[in-house]
Amino acid sequence: KRELKSVYTRFLQSGTPTVVDGRIYVLGAARMARCFDAKTGEVVWEQRLPGEFTDEFMMSSFAVVDGVAVVLCGHLMGLEAATGKLLWEGDVQKTRGTHSSPTLWTGGGRPLVIANAGGEDTICVDPRTGAELWRVKTSGGQSTPVIVGNRMITLANQRRGGLRAFELSLTEAKLLWTYQRV
């Protein structure tokens, strides 16, 4: 058990902790990212992420790959997994989000991150640099993309957007089908 000071918000901070290589990564209130030793519960690092704190709720979990912990904390960011040092930030408007979690995909034999960004789009980025490889309109703003092999499924924020499946490549995500029934 580990208790740490936080700030009051009216909303739950409900991202699922991510466990990788004996470490636990979690995003909490006031944009506080933390990494714990999974065996002892000791804090490995704490990092307040950029952005002005308002009474907000952050629900993103971390995607940890290739030494980088990627999270949506107002917008997409990449932290050095070992130290918590901020490596890169996505564009504040084009990669904005708080509810969805980035997810991992191996494309072309290399680890990549896919995230819903900006409310309407899903993007694929290089986890080391944050460089965007492609962007596609999915309307999947608050859901987390599901990746199976080279296929991605997103769920739109509105019923008319429906459930959508895409074929992934290093250069694009091609729409395969849409299901809009209840």
pTM of the model: 0.90
Per-residue pLDDT reduced to its tens digit, 10-28: 556 667 899 999 999 999 8
* CA distance linking residue 95 with residue 103, whole number of Å: 14
* CA distance linking residue 124 with residue 112, whole number of Å: 7
Are the C-beta atoms of 44 and 35 separated by less than 8 Å? yes
* CA distance linking residue 46 with residue 58, whole number of Å: 16
Per-residue pLDDT reduced to its tens digit, 90-131: 999 999 887 889 999 999 999 999 999 887 899 999 999 999
Per-residue pLDDT reduced to its tens digit, 150-181: 999 998 877 667 889 999 999 999 999 998 87
Got the DSSP string for 33-94? Answer: EEEEETTT--EEEEEEPSS---S----PPPEEETTEEEEESEEEEEEETTT--EEEE--TTT
Q: Which residues of 157-168 are buried (b: 16+ CB within 10 A; e: fewer)?
A: beeebbbbbbeb
